[in-house]
Structures are given as C-alpha cells and as structure tokens.
A and B are shown apart, each in its own frame.
Chain A
C-alpha cells in the first residue's frame, strides 16, 4: 500500500495548503509561516502592494509586530505587558493587551533578518533623498547577493547623484568579479583597483590563487594598499598637526612670559586650566547654545586668565626680578593654590564641556581619509592666535615697548618706557593666551584640576626646543614635536613615543642649549 497511500496523502495536504493560501491575505499567513515561507510571502507581497509590505518589513526588523494567537490578527505592540496599548495592523484601531500570553511576536531569525534588511535597502534605492540611496548601497555592499546586485543594476541607469553612481559601480564590479564572464571579470578588477574601499580590497582578496586573474588581482590589491597607506600617512600627519597645534597653543603664552620676559611661570598650566573652566561655566549659563557659549568664552577666558596673570605678576613676580629660580618656586606655589581652589569650587572630578554641533563630526574626503572637524578647528584657531600675536608684537606700539624692555631694560626706561606697566601687560597677554588655549583644549580633552600639570612640561619643552624669545621657533617646535610624536606612536606605542620625544629634546638641549633658533647678539647673553 505504501506508495499509493503516501502519494494520496501528499496530494491532500497540498490541496489544503493551496486552499488556505487562496482564502486569506498575506497578513493572516505571516503569523504561523515558517521562516522560509515568510521570506517568499514578503517577496510576493512586495510585488503586489509594496508600501504596506515595506512597513511590515520595518516593523519586523524593529520587533514590534505581534499576532493574536487565536485569530492570527496582526497587531503593533511597543511594550509586551498586560494593560499596555496595542494597535491593530490592518485597521489601525487602538486597543489594550488584555492578557500578555494571548499575543506573540512574529519571529525572525538571522537569515530572514538579512533578507529583510536587504529588501529594505533595495526599496530605499528608489528613495528621493540621495543620502538614503547612498546608505542603502552601502548596506548592500556589506553582503552583496546576486539579487541585490541585480537591484542595483536596475537602478544604476536612472541614478543621477555621482557619489551614489560611484558606489553602485563599485558594487556592480564586485558582483561581476564574482559571476561575470572572464572579460567582465578582468574589467571589474581594473575598476576595483581604482577604488580605495575595504570592500574592493576584500573582493580582490577573494579571487582564488589558481585563477588566471590572480596576478592582476594581486597587483590591484597592492595598488589599493599603496594608496590607502598614503592616505594613512596624510591622516597621521593631520593627527600630528593637531597635537602640534595644541602644543603650540599651550606653549605660545609661555613663549611670551618666559621667552620675552625671561620669567618662569610654573602656573602657566593652571592658567590654561582656568580658561577651560571658564568655558565650562559659560556653558552652564547658556546650556541651550553650546556654540554661542564657546564663542563668548573666548574673550572671557582671555580676560580671566589674563587678569589672574597680571595679579601674579604684580603680587609676586615683580619682587623676584633677576632671581629666576626663586620665581620658579613661587609660581609653582601659586599653581598649587590655583589647583586646590578649582578642586574646592568645582569638585575634584572631571567636568565635561559640550562640543557644539558645527564642530562635531568629520570631513570625509574619500573612503580612506576623513578628518575630524574639532581638530581642524583647533589647527585653524592655533594659526589665528599665532599670527595675531606675531602682528601684535611686531607692529603695535605695545609690541615695540615689550621688545625694547626685553632687550635692554635700563635703556628702555631711560627712553621713557614705563617698564613696570609693560611687564604687567606682557604677562597679562601671555596668560590670556593660555586662557585661549584652555578653551581650545576643553574641546579635545577632559576639563579637570590636573589638566594644567599635564601640559606644563610639554609647554616648556616646546619653548626651549624652539629657542627662547622666538615665536616662530615655538610654532615650528610645537608642530614638529606633535608630528614626531604621532609618527612614532604606531610602532612604539603612545607612552614610549612620548618618552622618546622627551629624551630627544633633553639630548637636543645638550647639543644646542639655546634651541632651534637661538637669539644672537648681546640680548642672548645672561
């Protein structure tokens, strides 16, 4: 009997299934379908009514689609608990969950989830917004299947946005490499070798070693790697420049107080810290406009640190003229007092300063290179501060007097320069610039009572390395030390790189005690 009966039973089952399908809508079937049935169901559904089907796809991915166990009715539920609201999928009517157990989530497994995501991405290919189209191609690139490659090919013809076209071509090339004719494959390799993306590289790596195209693929990989490395070097340079700008910003105020006036101010780091805390306070006052607060804090930080600096000069340093080592000790004491003051007022914990929107994010130049905006702003800010200071010292009458006093105090006094007043203003200027550095630093690192100490040694190194009394030297020294640090980092690690740079400077000072650009002439003596 076996053969005969089994085929009869098979026929009956088939008939029943067919009847059921004919009788109900796709929505009703979804509840009890197996994973593979769900997939075919959604596929056919999209062909008949794409907008409803796509909303179902989205709901399934979000895990918000449930069904009532008795009736197979589809409902939307946000929180699966007795008493919580629900919405009927078909009618949109609101209701409540009477019994938690009466509803069950429409289940999804990984294969199905991938399918759903691809389906959604394919649908987004026809979206009006180019950004949406771009991200959908990007999504498909992750795991390119023949199906969505066909989808991309379909939309490629009508695509107008160049970025999307590029990405689509890349996807198509990867697909052609996979299943095209040998001629197409060779073409695809040439196309992929032009790209910079990781996906292109992976696709080329997947070419089997025994294939006739293997050598072409290998040279393609090399070409990509070569160019990627070049961009990597540009990125390292950029990180180095941004670190260097921070060093220059931190050091340039010191270059004025130490370099021009010959005063060692160990509290310089704490003046930077005050600038950073000023930013924090102003953001607390204007919590809703972080960008505005940042701009306002620039002059405020300059004033706060500058006034504290003038206070230090008038109150302590003035009495220690000609005793550099004692000045060092006294200002170190002041740095301890300022640290503890901040700790007592703002707590010893780090404070977070908000980065305004226009400074967040990054500037993506191509697939291999993107530059973070906040660092770009810091580099620009550093250059602006530098050139303003340079002009001030070279062109203004204050600058003239400052230089006169620093070169020959007695002679300047004899010529009618009020040297005490010039000292105070110069010190205030250097301290104010430290405050500006603090504002910039608050966008890059934590604001805390110890942040000043972290920069004081670095700042001294920059000034001494560049040559005391020379603003250009400070700029060159800061930027080159920053770049050297970042170049060493990949193979030495961050801490060792820093140590190496320190050792290098110590050795350098032994060889050239007056820095990269030493002052010459009589002013250099002493």
Chain B
C-alpha cells in the first residue's frame, strides 16, 4: 500500500471510528477518551500546516521559515471570534470588551475587532488575513527575485517581527497572555465532549480537503511548472513562464491553508498567544515535512503526526531528552534520510 493510500484510508478511518469509539462506555477497552480526541485533532491541525509548508518547500523550493506566522494569524482571527462570543461572561462582565481590554482601561473596541462577533466574518478573515499578508510579502519578495537562503531568512524575520509586535499590549491582541478563556463556538460549549468530537471531525475533513486540493494543484500543469521552477528557475523563466506569478499564487494559497489550520487548532487547545509566532515553531514544521518526505504531501501528514506524538510523549516522560532528540533528528534526517520516510519506503519497494 502506498503512503498516499495509507494516509487517506487512515484519515477516513479516524473520521468514522474515533467518534464511535468515543461513544463507548468509559470502562470499555476500546474507549477513546475525549482528551485524546482533542489531542489528535491538534495533531491533524498541525499536519495541515505541514501540508501547506510542503506545498511551497517541496514543490516550489521556497524554504519558508515563517509559515508559523500565517498559522498564528489564522489562529488569532478565530481567537478574536471566540473572544467576542464570551460576551458578558468574562471576569469583568463587560458585554462588549474582552477582559484584557477592560484591564488596560480601554473604553471602546478597536476598529479591527469590529465584525468578529459574526462567524462568517471571522471565517473569512481566517483565510483573508494570512492570504493578504502572504500576497504582499510574496509580491515584494518574488518580484525582486529574492531566492534561496535569503528568502528563508526574511521569512524568519517576518515571523519574528510579528511575534515582537503581538507581545505588545498596545497592539490590542492581549499582549503576552494572548487570547484564552473561550466559552463557546457557534453556540456550542467548547467544554462539552460533543463539540470536541465535532471539532476533531471538522479538522479531519479540512485536512482531507486540503490534501485533495493540493494534490490536484500539484498534478495540474501549474504543479509541473512549480517543480520546473524549483529545479531550474532561470530556465523556466527563459522558457517564457511568469515565474513570479505562479510562485505568488502558490505561496498565497499555502498561507491561506496555514491560516485555516490555525483556526482549527485554536478552539481545540483553548489558547492562542504570541509564542505561536516564534521562529522555532516555524522551523519545527519544516522538519516534520523533511521527516515525512519532501514533495509528497501525504508524507507531511505522517511526519507531523509522528513527531508531535513523540513530542507529547517525550516532554512528559523525559523532558531533558526532547530537545536532544529533536536536534539529532534534524541532523540525522538531513544527513541520512534526505527523502524522508516516504523516500525510504519507496526505496524498499523498489528493492523488493
């Protein structure tokens, strides 16, 4: 069974069986506790981010070290909606202002918070804000032909600058505490197990849709052009293709996917803070992709889930070991598994 099929079948199985197993009585051996459902939902949201990174790194050759920024922007947009849903149930009981604004003595809602009480508006912003930021950034960067390592470094600077900005209280996004204490989404309580299972299912569906969409993009003519640009940018340009345009559109699409992933992540973990912008998060995503196998899309899902599971396990059981393990993984994978798990499996298949 190829990796693609394995991932798709696995996801569909999860979509069907996880809610069923969750409904079993708690004493049953096959019962899946609700916290585990949320945890899996979190991993799959991160897997979606990994797919977005694989799209630009794997197929377009842009090593982005700032995709965490788009993920966090989508997360913040969702967080703002959830904040507005709290209404007067906050600690200070203000019907309009979120708690942190009351705490800062603000008297009215800043203009950029308007409209976030509507879900459709927030959902639009989840896609639009990361998309527009990526579009403007890409427009400037690709037009002036910033490539390779330079591009990596300025994407890192982008997320770093955003992190510093979001840490400021004056920005109006809750400073270093971020947004938290969410109560409900679309009228359903975030504490209830049913909502959690529903969020998990939504994440699985979103991930499947993302994979399908990215797969069709990659299989299309545009996708083949991407690979051509990755392998020989100058030659593609000389052949008459508008390299900047295709780069810009794929980069923007990828950022929008990252934004949606962030929006699915936030209600499941219950908090979003500026730490999500920190450069190390973005770099970590790249290693998930590298381990799963670059330019395979499905490999990114495997890599993201595997490493995040290992992270959850190791940071609890052996907190000292985790960074050693992650660091060694970076080194070993780049040295010995340049094509990741997918490449390893393919080689075995070819040998057999």
Contacts and interface: CB of A to CB of B under 8 A. Distances in A.
Interface string B272-303: 00000001100100110010000000000000
A135 B148 CA distance: 62
Given A328-B152, A457-B156, A499 B140 contact: no
A11 interface: no
A460 B63 CA distance: 16
A324 interface: yes
A38 B215 CA distance: 94
Contacts of A320: 334-335
Contact of B144 (A327, A343, A510): A510
A325 interface: yes
A340 interface: yes
B327 A335 contact: yes
Contacts of B157: 457, 460-461, 502, 505-506
A457 B279 contact: yes
B168 interface: yes
Given A340-B327, A510-B140, A510-B141, A329 B334 contact: yes
Contacts of A333: 287, 326-331, 334
Contacts of B168: 495-496
B140 A344 contact: no
Q: Is the interface of B mostly helix, strand, loop or mixed?
A: helix
Contacts of A506: 154, 157-158, 161
Interface in A414-453: 453
A520 interface: no
Contacts of A326: 334, 338
Contacts of A328: 63, 149, 152
Nearest to B159: A457
Interface residues of B, number: 42
A337 B328 CA distance: 7
Contacts of A356: none
A335 B160 CA distance: 18
Interface in B149-196: 149-150, 152-154, 156-158, 160-161, 164-165, 167-168
Contacts of B286: 329
Contact of A329 (B144, B165, B287): B287
Nearest to B141: A510
B320 interface: yes
Given A325-B149, A507-B140, A332 B328 contact: no
Given A319-B335, A328-B149, A329-B286, A336 B144 contact: no
Contact of B330 (A319, A330, A513): A330
B245 interface: no
Interface residues of A, number: 40
Given A330-B335, A507-B140, A495 B330 contact: no
Given A264-B149, A329-B334, A499-B161, A339 B323 contact: yes
A503 interface: yes
Contacts of B330: 329-330, 332-334, 336
B222 interface: no
A340 B322 CA distance: 9
Contacts of B154: 505-506, 509
A498 interface: yes
A251 B283 CA distance: 21
A320 B286 CA distance: 17
A153 B156 CA distance: 65
A320 B329 CA distance: 16
A464 B160 contact: no
Contacts of B153: 457, 460-461, 464
Nearest to A312: B331
Contacts of A339: 323
B235 interface: no
A330 B146 contact: no
A330 B63 CA distance: 14
Contacts of A522: none
A384 B274 CA distance: 39
Contacts of B327: 333-337, 340
Contact of B323 (A337, A499, A503): A337
A327 B331 CA distance: 9
A406 B269 CA distance: 49
Given A335-B327, A337-B327, 5 more contacts: A319-B335, A330-B334, A337-B324, A461-B153, A502-B164
18 contacts: A325-B63, A328-B149, A329-B330, A329-B333, A334-B327, A336-B323, A336-B327, A337-B324, A337-B331, A340-B320, A457-B157, A495-B165, A495-B167, A499-B161, A499-B164, A502-B157, A502-B160, A506-B157
Interface of B: 63, 140-141, 143-146, 148-150, 152-154, 156-158, 160-161, 164-165, 167-168, 279-280, 283, 286-287, 290, 320, 322-324, 326-331, 333-335, 338
